[in-house]
Amino acid sequence: MTIAEERYSLNGREIVLRSARLDEAQMLLEYLKTVTGETRFLMAESNEITYTQEEEEQFIKKHNEAKDELLIVAFVDGDYAGNCSFTGEEGSRRARHRAGIGIALFQKYTGFGLGRLMLKRLLQEIQAQGFEQAELTVVDGNERAYHLYESLGFRECGRIPNANKYDDGTYADDIFMVLPF
Ligand SMILES: CC(C)(COP(=O)(O)OP(=O)(O)OC[C@H]1O[C@@H](n2cnc3c(N)ncnc32)[C@H](O)[C@@H]1OP(=O)(O)O)[C@@H](O)C(=O)NCCC(=O)NCCS
């Protein structure tokens, strides 16, 4: 599914939220390589991001065309700032009431309320699609993200100890959080 362009004002900055376009695949790839290098809290190391432009185009296309997926890109005063997305659980009918969420912003656009704005908008759409709960995984130690999710109603429901092993030999747990509507 897609959303048309929406404009907001946040701390004096102009925010645009909309669905991604296919011609933005390269921009999204470069963003992914950068944000994974800026934090320990995303899914992989920057040098593990090896998607091709065609694969990224497929990723955008799938989110835009599937009824149970949505990818929202955000711009701050015209600059690409990051994205958030949801994907409905696939497979068994038993799992189709659940939507999984992801979000990441460039470091320079964190900490002024954009993540909250984007997630509220995403959750609105998830609810409108009839999902009964939203789910996400956050790495232990990501205090800003954990606080934000908790303040939106997500509750911790479990963790995998040492789910992440870093190149420097340290570990971090994965924490599962759920928001029932
Ligand atoms: C996590 C992320 C999406 C949050 O978006 P954001 O725009 O930075 O967050 P917001 O500014 O909307 O809200 C952050 C909240 O955390 C609070 N916060 C900031 N630092 C904090 C800390 N160290 N401990 C606890 N709370 C903190 C802020 O006060 C704010 O809460 P408030 O609105 O109640 O005052 C964004 O920081 C990001 O993309 N980070 C890098 C990638 C990442 O970690 N993605 C999430 C993976 S699960």
Residue 59: CB atoms within 10 A of its CB come to 19
Report which protein residue has its CA nearest ligand 1's atom 43: 104
- Report the separation in Å between the CA atom of 114 and the middle of ligand 1, taken as the mean of its atom positions: 9
pLDDT confidence band for 91 (50 / 70 / 90): confident
Any idea what the Cα angle at residue 108 is, between residues 104 and 109, rounded to 5°? 55
pTM exceeding 0.95: yes
Q: Which residues line ligand 1 (CB under 6 A)?
A: 39, 41-42, 82, 103-105, 110-116, 138, 142-145, 147-148, 151
Query: Closest ligand 1 atom to the C-alpha of 112?
Result: 11
Of 110, 121, 175, the one to substitute when testing ligand 1's pocket (max ligand atoms within 8 A of C-beta) is 110
Cα 75 to Cα 5: distance, rounded to the nearest angstrom: 11
Name the CATH topology of 6-132: Aminopeptidase (3.40.630)
- List all residues 6 or more positions away from 168 whose beta carbon is below 8 Å from its beta carbon: none
- Lookup: tokens for 18: 């909309």
Query: Closest ligand 1 atom to the C-alpha of 143?
Result: 24
Instruction: State yes or no: pLDDT of 47 exceeds 90.
Output: yes
Give SS3 for 33. helix
Computed over every residue of the chain, the mean pLDDT equals: 97
Cα 144 to Cα 81: distance, rounded to the nearest angstrom: 17
Q: Summarize the confidence of residues 127-142 as an average pLDDT.
A: 98
Instruction: Enumerate the domain spans of the chain.
Output: 6-132
